[in-house]
Structure 1
Amino acid sequence: MILTSSSIAALVIAMRALGLLQPLEWSVLDLFFRLRPLEPASERILIIGIDESDLQAYGFPIPDNKLAQLLQKINAAQPRAIGLDLYRDLPTEPGHAELVKAFETIPNIVGIETFESGNEGAVHPPPVLSEKQMVGFNNFMTDTDGVVRRGLLHVWFPADNLILQSFPLKLATIYLNSQGVPLPSLAPASNFPVGQGNIIRFRKNDGAYVRADAGGYQFLANLRGPVDHFRRVSMTEVLEGRVPEDLIRERIVLIGPTAPSVKDTHFTSYSGGLLQPREKMYGVELMANFVSQILSTALDGRTPIQVWSDPVEWLWIFGWSWVGASLCWKLRAPYRSTALVLLLGGGLSASAYLIFCYGWWIPVVPPLMTLMGSAAVVVGYLAHLQGEFKRSTDFLSSVINTIPDPIYVKNKQHQKIVINQAYCKLVGYPMNTLMSKSDYELFPQPEADLVWQQDELAFYVVGEQENEEKLTDAQGKTHFIATKRSIHRDGAGNIFLVGVIRDITERKRLEEELKRIAAELEHYNAQLKVHAEQDPLTGLANRKVFHERLAQSLEWAKNNNKLVALFYLDLNDFKIVNDTLGHHIGDLLLKTVAQRLNACLRSSDTVARLGGDEFTVILPGVPRKADVARVAEKILQTINQQAELEGHTVSVTTSIGISIYPLDTQYLEILIQKADDAMYQAKRLGKNRYQFAATSTPSNINSVNGN
């Protein structure tokens, strides 16, 4: 086991030393950045972007007079520092004199420059800022895959005894000086301790890097988030005075292009993954990230990205190689070994991510390769000893014909090379026909198109692909099927697609049946709810709903300082109608009374039948007691009208008792009792009238027929 694990580890370490794994490790680093919880946007920095609308309004390059106006506007709001992420080595008339004056009079403006070896291709800063030593260089370090993962803090030229500060460091220095935070002297030191933290110097073989250019004082970028993570306003908003001064005051203000046409954009670790569009970050946003990294390190003690030393990384890689080899040797079962290795690989990746969240970038791809490589060697050796290896097609044919589920195997040209008998039975064609014809010759075009698309997707997407589809067999019967596709390689490196099918037609039928039953149950429950809340004869609210509505009305009236009137109605001499004309006519009369009550009241009022010939009416939100009396008179007049019921002319009157919340009481049960008592008082006073509860202000209003 030691020999196997050591050999695999040595091979992987050698591949890493040659830079073969560098792109993969960079990709994992980028993925960890994207998975890491986003940090809050820094409130110390404001970006003033020059966007497309600004370019259309002012042109590009921005004229010097407009830039001077912008600087004056910003300076008036008293920022800590102004970073001009625009190359202004040449005048852009009109207004160059104004811009020079702004450079001379406004403190804490930092310009930007680039420098190249031999000074060829360099872009110089404005001469005025250069004389004031208020210039920093562009500190982007772009890796070979075009992604910015490093920054430059400063560079030194021993021959000239010259040290140049980067643009972000120059701005951060101004801010930190205002906070009383001293910075160390600029020298080719191993570390840069500042404030509460330390900006660790990048070495040429740090992390996944192999013999990288580590000139100057470089550091690993620890961006706060993806694009648009910092607060940003446009140049036009500032010039038009639409940006509050509080948004600028005491902040570092960065001015730079945010227009795609300027092409000052860069890929970062947040620029998207394999299946996501790669979104570039504007240069001024990158500068904001680097400034923020220096400030948060000094003021907040923010953790930098750190790496292990080479010996520790080698030991880490060897350890996982030994784990994979020893566990597979002990298990001696390919499937269990594979499952365990996958589980360990997932644990390794998750652990590396959690460690990264605490600021450590440790190897992930090399230990995964050694883990799986040593496991594969051991499993392969055991399989060879047991005679488990056979030719690819023979092995597939012998295995899949023992599986009850339909299975097919295709090559990258979508040609079937192996199918089992279950597949032939499902489709309804003999094996020779299925092997010689394409899917477009066997199935309807929409189905064949979907099969092609799903097969093609499986070839280019890592992992198993599951889908639900339709399949029409030789007899024209349509089956619902669930498919699972995976990619495999044989010993010669050929790629094959293995598709497993399960007929789920019966399951789909049961699902539809269950949906139908569920819909019927829902409809039945709705009917039960209606029956539980309605009086079966009149369709009015029943006693239960009456109490609920009254409680709701009282609560609403309490919160809104309103009145609620409760009517208690009893039909006079209703028993005579039942005795003389029969209960059928009595029921029709009750329905008629219910209809008349509903017709003469508001939609917000509640009419309920408590039983027999007793009704209640709830009037929420009544303005005055006089309005209650008018409603009572209207009800008396409406019910007193004759009704034609199956050839019988029937007249009926009612007696109404009225209680008012909160004039009579604030309690629900007492309110009901007072209305009931008032109704009996109305009957004693001659019927066909209404009567307010005894504790209400006495009413001299008589019934509609003068009693």
Structure 2
Amino acid sequence: MQRNLWNSLKATALLWRWALPGMVVIGLVIAARLTGSLQSLELLTLDTFLRHRPTESKDDRIVLVGIDATAIQQTGYPIPERDLVDLLNRLQTYKPTVIGLHILQNQIAKLDNATLFATLKQRQNLIISETVLSTTDQIPLPPGFPANKIGLIDLILDGDNREDSHVRRTILGTFDPLNAEVYKLSLTIRLVEAYLSAQDKSLTLKNGLRDKEAMRFGSTELPRLKPSGAYAGVKTGSPQILLNFRQHHQPFRVLSSNEIRAGKVDPNWLRDRIVIVGITDPKIRPIIPTAAIAPTNSLDIQAHTVSQIISAVLDKRLLLTTWTEGWEYGWILGWGVLGVYIDRRTRGLIRTLFAAGIANLLLVGGSYALLLLQGLWLPVLPALIVLNLSVVLPAVYSYVYEHEKTLKTRLDERQRTIEQTFNTLHNGPLQTLASLLRQGRDNKLPQEQLFLTLENLNAEIRGVGEHLKQEALTQEESLHLRSGLKLDLKLPLHELLYEVYTNTLERSDFSQFATLKTSCYFEPLEKRPLTIDQKRDLCRFIEEALCNVGKHAEDATHLDVTGTQSQKWYCLRVFDNGKGIATAAPGEGTKHARKLAFRLGGKFKRETSSPQGTLCELAFPLTKLWFQ
């Protein structure tokens, strides 16, 4: 049960290791969007989509009457009230449904404020303009003019960057900053309300059904722009809508004030129409930057807003809308997960790029189609970022990881080769050399036997070299013992240990082995599979421990070697009743035993027993560790 749990955790960790770069990308993009860092780029994406829509028909229900630079030169500026009233009276003769005067009071040269527009023949269908968003220097309105015949014309610019701003949204109404109890509607809403009620008495302005703070005409609800990632931190408390500009090189009929005065117009152009009168001289009314269409003036902005609302109500033309933030971030997360999936499931650069390319086409094409078919503006750019980076970054991470893994594997293999070579030399030729030196110091070795021993040592070293060379060339899975015996490491561990035990006790350089009473038992290891390297290391451990007995266990009479398993551990013990090893710094054999214990997740000890004797013990768990 515990082993299955560790394996499950290990598999989960490996999966998250591959998904981690993609999850980090998703988190960073969402964080950037929440702070508004992607706002300019998202708005640029919307502009691009709107610019590349199919051409629409001209909206003949709206006529713009511009007081251009020529007219301004003739009349002067501010515009004399008499000339303006004359223009409005002439327009009334063509029986338009409603006239919107997109001219502020300070742009009119009044003889007497009390008599402003007093000479108008008809003003029931006239709506004049004001600005309210600026609380300083508000322009007084003509006294006696009905409140429902006044509309605000304030514009809101999106600060794309420090040097550039564009109009993409329009305000429909707001509370008066100077009088919070007074609610003011925009000129566009006033014009739309007048026109639609003339078409159908039921099409009056009401509150929304889905959104109580939205505006509605009949069943058409104007979707309010709400704070989101594309408009993070932007105050949209007053009802605002995104501008859905009419895609046409000349979307509305434009007449000059001089043409009206000269009577050079077709009466049918103006009858039952919405007429908006305004100054078009760029010196007075500066050009308004818009990224979705060519730069225009504020008069055109009002016309586009009116057109999109009446077209939505009467023609079912789409209004631009967005998802709620929850759906938007779910959308971004989904594309990021798809990027991780593509990187995980595809193999090879070409396949990965092909799959990512298809996903990009679906994302951009689907988002563009939804804008055309449903008016839905989706967060395309954040989704593109997470999709592509979720494919690229894991690939880079995988390359770096695999490179480091390969390098580490090579270093580990080199280290293992060095350790195996050392163990082979340490437990064979070096042990012989140590015995030879010891006997030489005691003058117990005749010259003839010395030369014979050196010849054997030379042959042994060459044999070790040939074995290591052959093992490297053939990838042979065997253990080379001093006698030239090769053990197949595929054999069960207890058989290998017994062969090592027997071979080591037959060594002639440790003469006291012949006088020891020995006992040996190795219990089969059943619960934990071992690798070839682990088996080799355990065999070398037993060989090293027995060689230490041969070198250091003076006056020893008994040797006990066992390998036993309990419920959770397997324990290798080598015990002799000799005088023991003098206290000293740990040798290379002890260091390798400790490394082996660490790799197996076990423990090692070598200690002196009472009253005498030495115990060398290595124990390791029967359950394979999850990190191995």
TM-score bracket, normalised by the shorter chain, equals 0.5 to 0.7
What are the equivalent positions in structure 2 for 1:615-626 lying under 5 Å apart?
Answer: none
Deviation at 1:96?
A: 8.0
In the alignment, the residues of structure 1 paired with residue 107 and residue 279 of structure 2 have an alpha-carbon distance, to the nearest angstrom, of 17
In the alignment, the residues of structure 1 paired with residue 185 and residue 244 of structure 2 have an alpha-carbon distance, to the nearest angstrom, of 19
Cα distance per residue 1:257-281 (max 9 Å; x no partner): 222222332122424xxxxxxx421
In the alignment, the residues of structure 2 paired with residue 286 and residue 42 of structure 1 have an alpha-carbon distance, to the nearest angstrom, of 14
Change (3 A) 1:314 1:135: same
In the alignment, the residues of structure 2 paired with residue 186 and residue 360 of structure 1 have an alpha-carbon distance, to the nearest angstrom, of 22
In the alignment, the residues of structure 2 paired with residue 169 and residue 329 of structure 1 have an alpha-carbon distance, to the nearest angstrom, of 53
Asked if 1:9 is matched to 2:30, the reply is no
Amino acid at match of 2:260: V
Deviation at 1:90?
A: 6.6
- Report the equivalent of 1:353: 368
8 Å contact from structure 1 (residues 332, 379) kept in 2: no
Change (3 A) 1:137 1:7: same
- Report the equivalent of 1:150: 169
Change (3 A) 1:53 1:89: closer
Identity, % of aligned positions: 29
Asked if 1:321 is matched to 2:336, the reply is yes
In the alignment, the residues of structure 1 paired with residue 50 and residue 390 of structure 2 have an alpha-carbon distance, to the nearest angstrom, of 29
Amino acid at match of 1:366: P
Deviation at 1:9?
A: 1.1
8 Å contact from structure 1 (residues 85, 254) kept in 2: yes
- Report the equivalent of 1:168: 188
Cα distance per residue 1:451-498 (max 9 Å; x no partner): xxxxxxxxxxxxxxxxxxxxxxxxxxxxxxxxxxxxxxxxxxxxxxxx
Counterpart among 235, 238, 250 of residue 260 in structure 2: 238
- Report the equivalent of 2:214: 191
Deviation at 1:349?
A: 0.9
Change (3 A) 1:236 1:128: farther
- Report the equivalent of 2:75: 58
Deviation at 1:27?
A: 0.2
Counterpart among 383, 392, 407 of residue 367 in structure 1: 383
Deviation at 1:34?
A: 0.4
Counterpart among 99, 112, 125 of residue 129 in structure 2: 112
Deviation at 1:370?
A: 0.5
In the alignment, the residues of structure 1 paired with residue 299 and residue 280 of structure 2 have an alpha-carbon distance, to the nearest angstrom, of 8
Counterpart among 374, 378, 385 of residue 394 in structure 2: 378
In the alignment, the residues of structure 1 paired with residue 240 and residue 120 of structure 2 have an alpha-carbon distance, to the nearest angstrom, of 30
Change (3 A) 1:121 1:372: farther
In the alignment, the residues of structure 1 paired with residue 144 and residue 297 of structure 2 have an alpha-carbon distance, to the nearest angstrom, of 26
Change (3 A) 1:128 1:90: farther
Asked if 1:229 is matched to 2:246, the reply is no
Q: TM-score, normalised by structure 2?
A: 0.56
Counterpart among 305, 315, 327 of residue 300 in structure 1: 315
- Report the equivalent of 2:471: none
In the alignment, the residues of structure 2 paired with residue 330 and residue 157 of structure 1 have an alpha-carbon distance, to the nearest angstrom, of 58
In the alignment, the residues of structure 2 paired with residue 124 and residue 41 of structure 1 have an alpha-carbon distance, to the nearest angstrom, of 36
SS of the residue corresponding to residue 227 of structure 2 reads: coil
SS of the residue corresponding to residue 219 of structure 1 reads: strand
Change (3 A) 1:234 1:157: closer
Change (3 A) 1:266 1:89: same
- Report the equivalent of 1:204: 227
8 Å contact from structure 2 (residues 58, 248) kept in 1: no
Aligned residues: 379
Counterpart among 91, 101, 105 of residue 88 in structure 1: 105
What are the equivalent positions in structure 2 for 1:583-662 lying under 5 Å apart?
Answer: none
In the alignment, the residues of structure 2 paired with residue 317 and residue 216 of structure 1 have an alpha-carbon distance, to the nearest angstrom, of 28
Coordinate RMSD, CA, aligned = 2.6
Asked if 1:73 is matched to 2:97, the reply is no
Q: Which protein shows a greater Rg?
A: 2
Q: Which runs of 5+ in 1 are unaligned?
A: 272-278, 390-707
8 Å contact from structure 2 (residues 285, 298) kept in 1: no
- Report the equivalent of 1:181: 202
- Report the equivalent of 1:568: none
- Report the equivalent of 1:21: 38
In the alignment, the residues of structure 1 paired with residue 319 and residue 370 of structure 2 have an alpha-carbon distance, to the nearest angstrom, of 13
- Report the equivalent of 2:282: 260
Amino acid at match of 1:40: S
Deviation at 1:288?
A: 0.7
Deviation at 1:139?
A: 4.0
Q: TM-score, normalised by structure 1?
A: 0.50
Cα distance per residue 1:155-194 (max 9 Å; x no partner): 2369743211111011111112212233244699333221
Asked if 1:45 is matched to 2:62, the reply is yes
What are the equivalent positions in structure 2 for 1:281-680 lying under 5 Å apart?
Answer: 281-358=296-373, 359-387=375-403
Cα distance per residue 1:62-91 (max 9 Å; x no partner): 222211111011001111011000112475
In the alignment, the residues of structure 2 paired with residue 124 and residue 266 of structure 1 have an alpha-carbon distance, to the nearest angstrom, of 25
In the alignment, the residues of structure 2 paired with residue 343 and residue 74 of structure 1 have an alpha-carbon distance, to the nearest angstrom, of 57
In the alignment, the residues of structure 2 paired with residue 331 and residue 48 of structure 1 have an alpha-carbon distance, to the nearest angstrom, of 61
In the alignment, the residues of structure 2 paired with residue 76 and residue 132 of structure 1 have an alpha-carbon distance, to the nearest angstrom, of 25
Change (3 A) 1:19 1:47: same
Deviation at 1:234?
A: 0.6
- Report the equivalent of 2:585: none
8 Å contact from structure 1 (residues 50, 234) kept in 2: yes
Amino acid at match of 2:261: L
In the alignment, the residues of structure 2 paired with residue 115 and residue 156 of structure 1 have an alpha-carbon distance, to the nearest angstrom, of 9
Deviation at 1:233?
A: 0.8
| Higher RCO (CA-CA < 8 Å; seq separation 6+) | 2
